[in-house]
Amino acid sequence: MNFSHIQFSIDEGIGLVTIHRPEKLNALNAAVMQDLRTVFEHAGSNSEVKGLILTGSGEKAFVAGADIRELAEIDPPRAEILSSQGQATFRLLETMRKPSVAAINGFALGGGMELAMACTARIASTNAKMGQPEVKLGIVPGYGATQRLPRLVGRGKAIELLISGEMIDAAEAHRIGLVNHVVEGSNLLAFAKDWLKKVLANGPLAVALTIQAVETGYDVGLEAGLRFEAMAFGFSAATEDRREGTRAFLEKRPAVFTGR
Ligand code: COA
């Protein structure tokens, strides 16, 4: 596949997406967003890809936000479309039914932090800086932060971050639960791969359904969420993976899952 602003490779079932616009700190312009949409569609339907890691090119930034030069020119009807389309692209990633990890190798601001929040997990390097600075530009976040940030860190902290526009460092992001782990930059990709490999060694259908149950539960409330969980549990009990997983335990050997 040919991309102008991302690099994509697959190794041992892990798709590595590197946002590659380092001279602009990997800011999300229209071309990057188009490439992201294409790669998420491709990864979602390609059985070779079992999970995704997203990172930024260079040592300074994951993604420093939406492209401010484009935002400076945009008219209101086009802005609403841009937001809806960007939300849909990030939703593709979030609902791909394959786990994804943001390997945050520096600034993750605005759309960059929103992209990281659409991933299943976030691992930050010690030099990472995260924030939603949109209000400092006189705009509202448009790629999901007002919805995903409170779900991740709670309403009080989310509103503070969203209306102050201030950046936080990796340690604070970890303390509030915005990132799952913080590691040295030199170890970031290796750590993200090991983390994802551990998840991918589990029953793939069980992992996908568990993520879906958590996400669905947030949207529909406890009663309906519990119903969804019970149905997902029933579905998982009908899979070959359930037979293999339980048998492997009883036979004291590692399970080999097929995702069926
Ligand atoms: N959109 C467009 N260009 C951006 C950008 C963005 N979001 N973030 C950085 N860039 C560009 C800069 O304009 C600069 O380009 P230039 O060399 O042609 O002037 C280049 O990337 C390097 O950035 P620079 O500001 O010189 O680096 P820095 O180390 O001094 O500062 C940041 C780093 C991240 C603090 C700073 O770039 C910044 O505040 N960026 C905007 C963050 C933001 O508000 N994002 C939300 C957008 S909704």
Tell me the pLDDT tens digit for each residue of 227-243.
Answer: 999 999 999 999 999 99
**Span(s) in the chain for CATH 3.90.226.10:** 6-200
Could you tell me if 204 and 259 are in contact, meaning their C-beta atoms sit under 8 angstroms apart? yes
Tokens describing residue 195? 């983390």
Q: How many residues does the chain have?
A: 260
Catalytic site residues?
114, 134
Residue 129 CA to residue 62 CA, distance in Å, equals 9
Bridge partner list, 124: 104, 182
CB-CB neighbours of 87 under 10 Å: 17
The architecture that CATH gives domain 6-200 is: Alpha-Beta Complex (3.90)
Distance (angstroms) between ligand 1 centre and the Cα of 52 equals 26
By DSSP bridging, strand 181-183 and strand 121-125 are parallel
DSSP string, 171-189: HHHHHTTSSSEEE-GGGHH
Could you tell me if 129 and 167 are in contact, meaning their C-beta atoms sit under 8 angstroms apart? yes
**Span(s) in the chain for CATH 1.10.12:** 204-250
Tokens describing residue 161? 């971050």
Q: Which atom of ligand 1 is nearest to the CA of 71?
A: 48
Q: pLDDT-derived band of residue 26, with 50, 70 and 90 as boundaries?
A: very high
Bridge partner list, 103: 123
pLDDT digits (tens, 9 = 90+) for 106-116: 999 999 999 99
Residues with CB under 6 A from ligand 1: 24-25, 27, 64-69, 107, 109-110, 133-134, 137
pLDDT at residue 219 in the model: 83
The beta-carbon contacts of 149-153 under 8 Å, at least 24 apart in sequence, are 149/117, 149/178, 151/218, 152/117, 152/177, 152/178, 153/177, 153/178
Distance (angstroms) between ligand 1 centre and the Cα of 234 equals 49
CATH class of 204-250: mainly alpha
For residues 1 and 69, the model is more confident at 69
Q: Is the pTM of this model over 0.85?
A: yes
Protein residue with its CA nearest to atom 8 in ligand 1: 64
Q: For the residues 198-202, what does the mean pLDDT come to?
A: 97
pLDDT at residue 2 above 90? no
Mutation to probe ligand 1, out of 24, 25, 57, 107 (largest number of atoms < 8 A from CB): 25
pLDDT at residue 16 above 90? yes
Tokens describing residue 221? 């409330």
Distance (angstroms) between ligand 1 centre and the Cα of 26 equals 9
